[in-house]
Amino acid sequence: MKTALITGVTGQDGSYLAELLIEQGYMVHGIKRRASSFNTQRVDHLYQDQHETSVNFKMHYGDLTDSMNIIRIIQEVQPDEIYNLGAMSHVKVSFDSPEYVANVDGIGTLRILEAVRILGLEKKTRIYQASTSELYGGLPENKNAQGFYDESSPFYPRSPYGAAKIYGFWITKNYREAYNMFACNGILFNHESPRRGETFVTRKITMAAAAIALGVQDCLYLGNLEALRDWGHAKDYVRAMWLILQQEKPEDFVIATGVTTKVRDFVEMSFAHVGFTIRWEGKGVEEVGVLASIDQEKYERATSEAIKPSVLNLLDSSVVKVDPQYFRPTEVDLLLGDPTKSKNQLGWTPEYDLAGLVEDMMVSDVKLTQKDILLAERGHEIFRQSE
Annotated catalytic residue 369: no
98 binds ligand NDP (CB under 6 A): no
Active-site residue 167, yes or no?
A: no
Q: Using CB under 6 A, pick the residue from 5, 70, 79, 86 that binds ligand NDP.
A: 86
Long-range contacts of 92-96 (CB under 8 A, 24+ apart): 92/326, 92/328, 94/159, 94/160, 94/161, 94/164, 95/159, 95/160, 95/328, 95/329
Q: Which does 158 bind (CB under 5 to 8 A by kind): ligand NDP, ligand GDR, none?
A: none
From the list ligand NDP, ligand GDR, none, which binds 88 (C-beta under 5 to 8 Å, kind-based)?
A: ligand NDP
* Interstrand relation of 183-188 and 126-132 (parallel, antiparallel or unpaired): parallel
In 234-282, DSSP assigns E strands to 253-255, 261-262, 276-281
Instruction: Give the one residue of 42, 204, 235, 273 binding ligand GDR; rule: CB under 6 A.
Output: 204
Least Cβ distance, residue 379 to ligand GDR (angstroms): 32
Distance CA 175, CA 345 (A): 23
The one among 11, 106, 223, 350 contacting ligand GDR by CB under 6 A: 223
Report in angstroms the alpha-carbon separations of 95 from 11, 321, 334, 335: 21, 23, 19, 20
CB of 134 or CB of 268, closer to ligand GDR = 134
Angle of CA points 200, 206, 208, to nearest 5°: 95
Q: Which of 74, 164, 188, 291 binds ligand NDP (CB under 6 A)?
A: 188
Give residue 362's Cα distance to chain centre: 16
Size of the site for ligand NDP (CB under 6 A): 26
Of the residues 134, 175, 260, 299, which is catalytic?
134
Is residue 228 near ligand NDP by the rule CB under 6 A? no
Q: Do 196 and 302 form a contact (C-beta atoms < 8 A)?
A: no
Query: Annotated catalytic residue: which of 10, 125, 132, 369?
Result: 132
294 binds ligand NDP (CB under 6 A): no
Q: Which helix (H) or strand (E) holds 381?
A: none
Of 84, 132, 153, 260, the residue at the interface with ligand GDR (CB under 6 A) is: 132
- The residue from 331, 353, 359, 360 that contacts ligand GDR (CB under 6 A) is 331
331 binds, among ligand GDR, ligand NDP, none (CB under 5 to 8 A by kind): ligand GDR
Q: Does 158 bind ligand GDR (CB under 6 A)?
A: no
Q: Considering beta carbons, is residue 255 or 278 the nearer one to ligand NDP?
A: 255
Q: How far is CA 338 from CA 145, 148, 256, in A?
A: 11, 5, 6
Asked if residues 149 and 142 have their Cβ atoms less than 8 Å apart, the reply is yes
Query: Does 252 interact with ligand NDP (rule: CB under 6 A)?
Result: no
Q: Which residue from 64, 112, 225, 311 is in contact with ligand NDP, where contact means CB under 6 A?
A: 64
Q: Select the residue interacting with ligand GDR from 42, 158, 229, 264 (CB under 6 A).
A: 229
Identify which of 337, 329, 324, 171 has the alpha carbon closest to the alpha carbon of residue 240. Answer: 337
Q: What element of type H or E holds 32?
A: strand 27-32
CA angle 117, 123, 129 (to 5 degrees): 65
Strands 3-7 and 57-61: unpaired
Backbone angles phi and psi of 132, in degrees to 5: -145, 155
In angstroms, give the least distance from the CB of 212 to ligand GDR. Answer: 15
Is 113 or 334 the residue whose CB approaches ligand GDR more closely?
Answer: 334
Cβ pair 308, 119 in contact under 8 A: no
Q: Distance of CA 35 to CAs 9, 28, 90, 105, 222, Å?
A: 14, 21, 18, 19, 29
Does position 80 bind ligand GDR by CB under 6 A? no
**161 annotated active-site:** yes
Contact with ligand GDR (CB under 6 A) among 91, 113, 254, 319: 91
Angle, helices 108-118 vs 67-77, to 10°: value is 50
Is 97 a residue that touches ligand GDR (CB under 6 A)?
A: no
Instruction: Name the residue whose CB lies closest to ligand GDR.
Output: 227
Q: How far apart are CA 306 and CA 308, in angstroms?
A: 6
Catalytic positions, written as ranges? 132, 134, 161
The residues binding ligand GDR (CB under 6 A) are: 89, 91-92, 132-134, 189-190, 199-201, 204, 222-224, 227, 229, 263, 326, 328, 331-332
The residues binding ligand NDP (CB under 6 A) are: 7-8, 10-14, 31, 33, 35, 39, 63-65, 85-89, 104, 130, 132, 188, 190-191, 197
